[in-house]
Amino acid sequence: ADGASVPILIIGSGYGGAVAALRLALAGQQVAVVEKGMSWSTPGSDGKVFCNMLSPDGRSFWLRTMTDQPINHFLGVPYNKSISRYTGVLDSEQFSGIRIYQGRGVGGGSLVNGGMAVTPKQQYFGSILPSVDAASMYSTYYPRANANLKVNNVDQTWFESADCYQFARTGRRTAQASGFTTTFVPNVYDFNYMKQEQANTAPRSALNAEVIYGNNYGKNSLDKTYLAAAVATGKVTITPQHVVTTVKPSGSGYSVVMNQIDTNGSTVATKTVTAQKVFFAAGSVGTSKLLVTQRATGALPNLPASVGTGWGNNGNVMVARQNQAWDPTGSLQSCIPVMGIDNWADTGGPAFAEISPFPAGLETFASLYLAITKNPNRATFSYNSTSGGVDLNWQQAWNQPSIDAAKRIFDPINAKQWTIYRTDLFGEYKTWGDDFAYHPLGGCVLNVSTDNYGRLPGYPGLYVIDGSLIPGCTTVNPFVTITALAERNIENIVANDFH
C-alpha cells in the first residue's frame, strides 16, 4: 500500500527474484515482491488460463493489438493475428536493432519459455562468469538450482516412438548424418504428464501448441516451484500489476515509486514504498533500464559508468531447413524441445543449436532451430532524455558472427541431405531469424558493475540478482545459470548483510 514501509523489496518475479524471495524468507526475513505482469492463476471464459499459439487472443502479448511472432510469415504470407490490447504474458520489446522477447507475470520468463534446463559444460564456465569459482557452482549451486526447479529428463525409450518427437528424431538423424553430436536436453516440463498427453489420458498442453503464450498444464514454472515454496513460508507477499519506476535513497533505506496498472496498461494509482533493502530482479532488460534511468535522472547518480554495458543476446539466431519428403517432422509436435546439436567445440564458430518444434498442426517437413552461438558483440543501454525511455545500441548486422557459426552446422547438413534453407518464415524472402532474441543477458555485469555477489557499489542495501549480471553469453540456454548464480549470491548476502 502507498506509504508502506517494508524491510525487503524485490522488483520482479523471474528466476533471480524467486530465488531471492525463497532464501530470504527461509532466513527469517519478511519479503515483498512487486511484479509488472499479471498473476496467471484465473481461467478466462474458455476455462483456460493461457491461450495457445494457433488461436492467440489478448492473453498472448503484452499490450499489442497484433501478435508479434518470431516466425512472422508462413509460405511467404504474413502470419500475425489481430488481438485485443491486454497485459498478456509475452512481451516483444522493440529496440532500434533488435526485439527482445520476455515473460510478463508472476514467474517472469518461466511462464513463456521452452523449459530447457541446461547446465553448461564445466570446461566452458570460465568463459561465462570468469570471477566465479567454478568448483562450488558445479558441486553446490547448479545441483541446488536443478533440484528446486524440478528439472527432469525425457524417457529415452518413449522418445524413440512418440509421435510428438518425430521432429526431434528427424533433426537428430540429419545432424548425425553429417557427423554432428546431438544431446538430450533436460527440462522443467513434467515428462510423465507429457506421456499422458501423447496417450490422450490427460488434457494436452505441450501437445496442444502451448508454450510461448504459457502452458496450461505440465510445466513446472516458477509459480509452481520457487515462488510456491517462498509463499508457503508465510513471509512473502507477491503484488502483481505494479511497475517500479524510481528507486532513490531515503533515510537509512530507499524510497521506491511504482505505478499500479490495469489490464489495459493504464496507471490507476502511484504508490511510494520505503524499503531497507531493494533487489533488482526485473531481468536483463528491465533491471538495466531501471538502473540507467536512475543514474541519468539523479535518483542514483553514483552508479558506475559501466551500468548499462556488457549486454549480449546469447548469440541467438533462428533458422529452418526444408527436409526431403522421406523426412517428415510430424503434424503433432511437442512444444517442449528435448534435443540439441552441440558444436561448441568447433573453435571456428562455436554453436549449440536446439532442435525446435514448429507446431503448425499439419506436416510441414520443416526443421526449425534456435542456435546459441559465441558472438563477441556487446551493446549498451542508455537513457534518452528526449523520449524519457532507454535505448539499446545493438545493430542487426552484429548477428553476422552468429549466422556464420550456425552455417557451420546447417550448410553441411543441407549439402549432405540435398536440402535447402526455408526462406518464407522470417520475412518474405529471408533465411535468418536474426532480428530478435529470447536470451537477453547482461547490462549490469557481476564483478564489473556490482561486487562479486551483486551488491551495487556506493548504495548499501541495493542488489542485482538476475540475468543482467551475466555478461552476454552462457553457451547454452540461460535460466539454470541465472538460478544457480542467484543461489550462490544470495547465500553470501544472507550470511553477511543480515544480522
Residue 412 CB, nearest approach to ligand FDA (Å): 25
Single out the residue of 443, 436, 441, 450 nearest to residue 472, CA to CA.
441
Pick the catalytic residue: 93, 197, 439, 491?
A: 439
DSSP state of 399: G
Q: How far is the CB of 134 from ligand FDA (least distance, A)?
A: 19
Instruction: Mark residues 87-126: x for contact with ligand FDA by CB under 6 A, - for none.
Output: --------------xxxx---xx--xxxxx----------
CB of 390 to ligand FDA, least distance (A): 11
Instruction: List the interface residues with ligand FDA, window 452-491 (CB under 6 A).
Output: 466-467, 477-479, 482
Q: Does 445 bind ligand FDA (CB under 6 A)?
A: no
CB-CB contact of 339 with 182 (8 Å): yes
Please state, in angstroms and rounded to a whole number, the distance separating the CA atoms of residues 118 and 115: 9
What is the size of the binding site for ligand FDA (CB under 6 A)? Answer: 38
Q: Does 283 bind ligand FDA (CB under 6 A)?
A: yes
Mask 209-248, x = binds ligand FDA (CB under 6 A)?
A: ---x------------------------------xx----
Nearer to ligand FDA, 49 or 212 (CB): 212
Q: How far is the CB of 418 from ligand FDA (least distance, A)?
A: 31
Contact string 337-376 vs ligand FDA (x = CB under 6 A):
----------------------------------------
Q: What are phi and psi of 164, to 5 degrees?
A: -70, -10
Instruction: Spell out the alpha helix ranges (H) of 208-282.
Output: 226-232
Listed in sequence order, the residues at least 6 apart from 235 whose beta carbon sits closer than 8 Å to its beta carbon are: 25, 28, 29, 30, 31
* 3-class state of residue 145 by DSSP: helix
- The per-residue DSSP string of 149-215 comes to TT-B---HHHHHH-GGGHHHHHHHHHHHHTT--EEE--BSB-HHHHHHHHTTSS--SGGGT-STT--
Taking Cα atoms as reference points, which of 309, 316, 321 lies closest to residue 170? 321
- To ligand FDA, the closest distance from the beta carbon of 108 in angstroms equals 3
Q: Does 390 bind ligand FDA (CB under 6 A)?
A: no
Annotation marks residue 491 as catalytic: no
Question: Residues 10, 14, 215, 402: which binds ligand FDA (CB under 6 A)?
Answer: 14
Please report where in the chains the cell 568463459 appears, as a residue.
127
Site string for ligand FDA, 20-59 (x = CB under 6 A): --------------xxxx----------------------
| Residue number, 341 or 482, with CB nearest to ligand FDA | 482
3-state secondary structure of 224: helix
Cβ neighbours for 268, distance < 8 A, ≥ 6 positions apart: 260, 261, 262
Directed axis angle between helix 479-497 and helix 15-26, to 10°?
30
Q: Quick check: 168 binds ligand FDA (CB under 6 A)?
A: no
Q: Coil, strand, or helix at residue 493?
A: helix
Q: Does 171 bind ligand FDA (CB under 6 A)?
A: no
Count other Cβ atoms within 10 Å, centred on residue 296: 17
Q: Is 13 in the site for ligand FDA (CB under 6 A)?
A: yes
Rounded least distance, CB 258 to ligand FDA, Å: 7
Smaller CB distance to ligand FDA: residue 279 or 365? 279
Task: Give me the least distance between CB of 419 and ligand FDA, in Å please.
Answer: 26
Asked if 62 and 87 touch (Cβ cutoff 8 Å), the reply is yes
Find the helix or strand (DSSP H, E) in which 139 lies: none
First to last CA, the chain: 27
Nearest-approach distance from CB 2 to ligand FDA, in angstroms: 16
Is 439 a residue of the active site? yes
Identity of the residue, 165 or 365, whose beta carbon is nearer to ligand FDA in the bound complex: 165
- Candidates 4, 48, 56, 49; CA nearest to 30 is 4
- Which one of the listed residues 354, 428, 491, 499 is annotated catalytic? 354
Cell numbers representing residue 221 in the block = 514454472
- Quickly tell me which residue has 508454450 as its cell: 211
254 versus 365: smaller Cβ distance to ligand FDA: 254
Applying CB under 6 A, the residues found at the interface with ligand FDA are 11-16, 34-37, 101-104, 108-109, 112-116, 212, 243-244, 281-284, 286, 290, 438-439, 466-467, 477-479, 482
Known catalytic residues are 354, 439
